[in-house]
């Protein structure tokens, strides 16, 4: 039902919200209780849909993957808030948001530990070949005394973190607890952090046994990890990506893995989700996850609560709970 239709004889005067994606557990039902919700993902003709419902929409609710593209934002003249369930902003037109005074919020901190846990899980799964061992047991290889290759120790190895934000710091704490030596690269050195700063990602890859990508996405980091970086990481090196698929040159990654120039990879994100190259799926030294870093009950509940709190604050004219920096 369009937000502009009547229910009985009384018009629905609740604030209007455009929801971009159904992939927001614990949130959609709550939104529909309090607001007039327009479901963008169900529109057969998005342009016509936005022409019909766009005027009056004050809030867009989305996630970090779908975001709020330029054309959607332009079709919403009354838009004042883009509330992102997640921390990714590369799919949100921040330039237009700034020009029009549209506020943007994310859900930091509530997903930090879960994404860091995912990075650690991927690292252990790749280095100890957990999936291969699982198949070996299930398929009877152990009972037949078939040879299984030895795996690699993680403790004591050198880890390089690309992007030492909230998630990068949480990953670093976990690696230190595993007796790994941590270095990082980023836009600038963080003097309050105890880890070694290496200003260039290529130099960091030369230094590291494991390279963990936790940087922001967007044009500024597109293919930051390319063929040269993968070559520097080397045939025994491991790449872990829990950031955005765009940060890694996926074609170069496939080539490095197939050619034995990289030891293994653990990937939670991909260039064209949910489409994952067949070549990656065919490799035993790769562990694949369906962008699942925040897919815990706890994280999704807390994300939903924070999105709702930001919307309520915006509509009440109060200070937002978790706005992004301008």
Positions annotated as catalytic residues are 244, 273, 291
Within the chain, strands assigned E span: 6-7, 10-11, 16-19, 36-39, 57-63, 81-85, 103-105, 158-162, 181-185, 196-197, 210-213, 238-241, 264-267, 286-288
Contacts of 264 (CB under 8 A, 6+ apart): 126, 127, 238, 239, 257, 285, 286, 287
Please tell me whether residue 159 adopts helix, strand or coil conformation.
strand
- Residue 55 · residue 74 · CB < 8 Å: no
b/e per residue 203-235 (b: at least 16 CB within 10 A): ebbbbbbbbbbbbbbbeebeebbbeebbbbbbe
CA atoms in the 13 A half-sphere facing the CB of 221: 24
CA dist 164 → 105, 168, 183, 294, 325 (Å): 21, 4, 10, 18, 17
* Residue 182, beta-bridge partner list: 159
Q: Is 94 exposed, middle or buried (0-12, 13-18, 19+ CB in 10 A)?
A: middle
């Amino acid at each position: 039902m369009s937000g502009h239709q009547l229910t009985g004889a009384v018009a629905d005067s609740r604030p209007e919200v455009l929801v971009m994606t159904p992939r927001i557990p614990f949130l959609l039902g709550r939104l529909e209780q309090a607001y007039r919700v327009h479901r963008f993902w169900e529109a057969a003709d998005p342009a016509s849909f936005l022409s019909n419902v766009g005027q009056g929409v004050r809030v867009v609710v989305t996630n970090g993957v779908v975001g709020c593209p330029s054309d959607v934002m332009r079709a919403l003249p009354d838009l004042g808030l883009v509330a992102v369930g997640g921390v990714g902003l590369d799919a949100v037109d921040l330039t237009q948001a700034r020009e029009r005074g549209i506020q943007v919020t994310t859900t930091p901190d509530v997903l930090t530990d879960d994404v860091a846990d995912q990075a650690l899980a991927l690292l252990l799964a790749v280095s100890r070949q957990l999936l291969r061992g699982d198949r070996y047991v299930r398929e009877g290889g152990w009972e037949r005394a078939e040879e299984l290759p030895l795996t690699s120790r993680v403790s004591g190895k050198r880890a390089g973190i690309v992007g030492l934000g909230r998630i990068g710091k949480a990953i670093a704490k976990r690696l230190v607890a595993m007796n790994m030596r941590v270095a990082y690269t980023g836009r600038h050195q963080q003097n309050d952090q105890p880890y070694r700063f290496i200003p260039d990602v290529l130099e960091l890859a030369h230094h590291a046994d494991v390279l963990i990508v936790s940087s922001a996405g967007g044009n500024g980091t597109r293919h930051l990890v390319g063929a040269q970086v993968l070559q520097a990481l080397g045939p025994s090196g491991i790449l872990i990506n829990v950031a955005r698929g765009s940060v890694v040159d996926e074609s170069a990654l496939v080539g490095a893995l197939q050619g034995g120039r990289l030891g293994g990879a653990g990937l939670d994100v991909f260039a064209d989700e949910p489409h994952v190259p067949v070549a990656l799926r065919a490799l035993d030294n790769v562990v694949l996850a369906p962008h699942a870093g925040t897919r815990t009950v706890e994280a999704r509940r807390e994300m939903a609560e924070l999105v709702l709190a930001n919307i309520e604050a915006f509509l009440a004219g109060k200070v937002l709970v978790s706005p992004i920096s301008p």
